[in-house]
Amino acid sequence: MFGFNLPTIIANIPALMIGFAFHEFAHAWVADRLGDPTPRSQGRLTLNPLVHLDLFGTLMALLYQFGWAKPVMTNPRYYKGNMRRGHMQVALAGPIMNLITAFVAFVLWYLTMHWIHGSAWSGIIRLIFQSIVLMNLGLGVFNLLPIPPLDGFAVLRGILP
């Protein structure tokens, strides 16, 4: 746990908004591509973090490093092809997006620190990038655990007979 200091909590705000929004958008985008109109009709096919944030889950994540976003509702009956495989693809989309986001943020962090090394803002920017990388790694790996209601359970359920 990072602690309850103000700079860390402030740095976690963009990390949470990015992590939760990208994760839920990925679920919605894959479901939409598979033919499910539900996420689009509910306005969840967006990167706007305010659409995806759950108030209590976000507060928990900010204060205790453990929280959640509003899950994207999908209807696997609309999926083209194998419904079971489609459900697994939608479930994997969120954690994979978090891992990709962590990698991209890490590369941007490295490049940014190379350019602004030693400036007055470097400590703040380092803390924000660190929060984005760690938050997205945590979300990606944690959501792959095969425990209901996490995404890893949906993947395991699709693999097992």
pLDDT digit string, tens, across residues 19-34: 999 999 999 999 999 9
Residue 69: helix, strand or coil by DSSP? Answer: strand
Is the pLDDT assigned to residue 145 strictly greater than 70?
Answer: yes
DSSP classification of residue 53: B
pLDDT in tens, 117-130: 888 888 999 999 99
The residue assigned the tokens 């979300």 is: 139
Average pLDDT over residues 74-89: 96
Q: Where are the domains of the chain?
A: 6-159
* Alpha-carbon span 138 to 136, nearest angstrom: 5
Q: How much helix, strand and coil, in percent to the nearest 5, is found in the chain?
A: 70, 0, 30
Residue 45: helix, strand or coil by DSSP? Answer: coil
Q: Count of alpha carbons within 13 Å of 141, Cβ hemisphere only?
A: 8
Phi, then psi, of 53 in degrees rounded to 5: -80, 135
Which tokens in the block code for residue 46?
């967006």
Question: Which pTM was predicted?
Answer: 0.93
Question: Which positions are annotated as active-site residues?
Answer: 24
* Alpha-carbon span 96 to 139, nearest angstrom: 10
Higher pLDDT, residue 4 or 85: 85
pLDDT in tens, 88-119: 999 999 999 999 999 999 999 999 998 888 88
Find all residues with CB under 8 Å of 44, minimum gap 6, and list them.
Answer: 24, 25, 28, 51, 52, 72, 73
